[in-house]
Chain A
């Protein structure tokens, strides 16, 4: 089977649509994860999702249903418990540990766990069904729509909560909104890169973008572009060379962050602003 034959197979095409939508959503939401320094929360939500997915498989449902329920639940819990960003670490840590323990229990109860567990942990984009792809794309586009509509308030509440509150924004509501967006994005990103590698789409592209530009809108767009580039090239390499797609995406996203840092170091050395 030649490369062009491989690329035109239906499962690769489905994967292509899914990674496109997911990468765009993850890049946009990732910018706020980096801005709000809530990478730990993103990490925890993914792990909670693992328990949900394992539970759903155990009772015979699609893993994505369990992921949605558990991730949203965890997101809202973190949003309520740690609305003031300072105190969220402990809340996140406890949520994370409790959920992982639950996941271990579900897996031990389920006899044919190996395959399902592997795809939840490391992603199995070439194996998702057409129905799942439709759901993933719809969720991603929904996230993008909400992010674009609430872009300014999210940004305001993230960088200066006190002023934003004084200007009439509810910090708690914005925190909950963000956590819901993060939870849904995590669910869809898990479909592609899995629980353990969810940072590759959610954090690495946004972190690279934040190094490269100080304009929020530009950084968000750049994060989406880097995530999209990593996802497309990663999918292509996975099909062409072989190896898990999630490995390629992770490697590319991490390289983009490394590249951004190196580029920034060079740039800083050349144009250092004059001190006022």
Chain B
């Protein structure tokens, strides 16, 4: 994207964004609620128009229905109430948009592979509503990666997951990047769970977008300038960043699992690795 901007309903969401996403890299999109993080994904998907500058997706104008782009939305209508099985939902990723009677013979094999890669084979025949949050996210990742997309867009894949499930999903995102060479763009509200796998950060705040490596963007001078007031960053001995000075930005009328947004400092880290090992062994 070069000098890209977006205006929705007469309101400038953000402007002058310039960045590129390389294959086999992971880009985290961070920033306060309603700063336009999901809007960035919608631009790439061709769901909202760019109002200035230019955006190329694999050298083309963004357009809907591009199979080279995989997408996992944040809220999926069916998830918590649907009696549909995970396998059926993944199947919709394959031929959901297709009208007509015919059945593609390769479908079964393609679905089987997507389920295997995401480690969902064992529970894919259960209804979605009976699955845990982490299992549902894995199914949703299988859905988004059915066609082995070269660009994978994930909107808040870690939202509302406990730490163990977050670690599993982060691991899976990393695995997909490594095995398929896909460029991954992850919208998140907390950098820490993703920090170990992220190559690039896009920080959106106050209608501006900053991009660069984690150290280039998530530092006191860049964030202070972006927010217009002093921001302090405390790096814990384990390398997690606690960002101080964003409290107002995250004041939000709705209840939110992480009101401070950027730290789980109160949670013992050892616990994470223990649970994580249990879950993956």
The verdict on A270 contacting chain B, using a C-beta distance below 8 Å, is: no
Other contacts beyond A152-B95, A159-B89: 6, CB < 8 A = A153-B99, A155-B92, A156-B92, A162-B76, A166-B65, A273-B130
Kindly identify which residue among B97, B101, B130 contacts A164, using a CB–CB cutoff of 8 Å.
B97
Nearest opposing residue in chain A for B127, CB measure: A214
Sample (29) of A-B pairs whose CB atoms are under 8 Å apart? A37-B81, A85-B77, A149-B101, A150-B99, A152-B99, A153-B96, A153-B99, A155-B92, A159-B76, A159-B77, A159-B84, A160-B73, A162-B71, A162-B73, A163-B71, A163-B93, A164-B97, A165-B47, A165-B64, A166-B45, A166-B47, A166-B64, A166-B69, A167-B64, A210-B83, A216-B88, A273-B123, A273-B126, A276-B132
Enumerate B114-160 residues with CB–CB distance to A below 8 Å: 122-123, 126-127, 130, 132, 135, 143-144
Give A174 Cβ to nearest chain B Cβ, in Å. Answer: 10
Which residue among B72, B82, B96, B127 has the maximum number of chain A CB atoms within 10 Å of its CB? B96
- Separation of A256 and B151 alpha carbons in the complex (Å): 47
- Separation of A161 and B82 alpha carbons in the complex (Å): 14
Give B27 Cβ to nearest chain A Cβ, in Å. Answer: 18
Please determine whether B71 and A166 come into contact, CB atoms closer than 8 angstroms: yes
The verdict on A242 contacting chain B, using a C-beta distance below 8 Å, is: no
Q: A156-B96, A164-B96 are in contact. Are A148 and B64 (CB under 8 A)?
A: no
- Separation of A26 and B98 alpha carbons in the complex (Å): 23
Please determine whether A215 and B85 come into contact, CB atoms closer than 8 angstroms: yes
Contacts of B47 in A (CB 8 A): 165-166
Chain B contacts to A: CB under 8 angstroms: 45, 47, 64-65, 69, 71-73, 75-78, 81-85, 88-89, 92-93, 95-101, 122-123, 126-127, 130, 132, 135, 143-144
Please determine whether A160 and B123 come into contact, CB atoms closer than 8 angstroms: no
Give A256 Cβ to nearest chain B Cβ, in Å. Answer: 17
Contacts of A150 in B (CB 8 A): 99
- Separation of A63 and B235 alpha carbons in the complex (Å): 75
The verdict on A225 contacting chain B, using a C-beta distance below 8 Å, is: no
Contacts of B45 in A (CB 8 A): 166
Give B83 Cβ to nearest chain A Cβ, in Å. Answer: 5
Contacts of B75 in A (CB 8 A): 162
Please determine whether A276 and B64 come into contact, CB atoms closer than 8 angstroms: no
Contacts of B83 in A (CB 8 A): 210-211, 213-214, 219
Contacts of B97 in A (CB 8 A): 152-153, 156, 164, 167-169
- Separation of A152 and B97 alpha carbons in the complex (Å): 7
- Separation of A268 and B135 alpha carbons in the complex (Å): 20
The verdict on A124 contacting chain B, using a C-beta distance below 8 Å, is: no
Please determine whether A152 and B98 come into contact, CB atoms closer than 8 angstroms: yes
The verdict on A158 contacting chain B, using a C-beta distance below 8 Å, is: yes
Q: A163-B143, A168-B64 are in contact. Are A215 and B88 (CB under 8 A)?
A: yes
Please determine whether B98 and A153 come into contact, CB atoms closer than 8 angstroms: yes
Contacts of B89 in A (CB 8 A): 159-160
Give B196 Cβ to nearest chain A Cβ, in Å. Answer: 24
- Separation of A250 and B75 alpha carbons in the complex (Å): 36
Nearest opposing residue in chain A for B75, CB measure: A162
- Separation of A120 and B127 alpha carbons in the complex (Å): 39
Give B114 Cβ to nearest chain A Cβ, in Å. Answer: 14
